[in-house]
Amino acid sequence: MLQRQGALLRPGFPGLWRAKQGAGGPASPAKVFFDIRSFNGGGNEGWNPLKFTTFTAKHQTLTGKELDERFMKEALREAQKAFDKDEVPVGAVVLCNERIIARAHNLTETLNDPTAHAEMQAITAAAAFTGGKYLEECTFYISVEPCVMCAGALFWSQAGRIVFGASDNKRGFRTAGSPILHPRTRLSEGVMAAEAEYLMKEFFKKKR
């Protein structure tokens, strides 16, 4: 069992995952497997997955809802990074073939770029990883409902599935009133919405 390293836990966030070293020597992004049976659901025990860019999850015993929550927690960790940089706290991860292949969070202030949303960067990173512009085999986990710009980009990437947490009744893509996502894209919402909303409210509270 790998030892805990530099946990980035915040109040209200679940415990980190323990990892088992794969066969063939020291742990590496390709050899680290997350054993969901060892997840304790709370506390500070476990290994910090943010040390690696990609990992594979053994999740045969998890339900669909539990899987979505498991990967939304990773998106929320990205959102926390944005919060710590004084950026609007939105985070995203991209899952492909049971593996996180991209992580991103808002960097509009850092890069002085109004298009540097978490989703836009996640699309670019995932496309670079797969070597193709179409991401129909990928699932995007996004902490907050994408805006119209990001939904349009997700349309062009032909994202296979989008899962978001908190709704955005002011700037979310659904406020446009017409379909934006690709017709084959599957959409799920409300996964860990309370945690995502909490981060957003805390961010804008300190801005007042």
For the annotated catalytic residues, the residue numbers are 119
User: DSSP 3-state assignment of 21?
Assistant: strand
Which string of b and e fits 66-103 if b means at least 16 CB within 10 Å? ebbbbbbbbbbbbbbbbbeeebbbbbbbbbbeeebbbb
DSSP string, 123-185: HHHHHHHHTSS--TTEEEEEEE--BHHHHHHHHHHT-SEEEEEE--TTTBGGGGSS--S-TT-
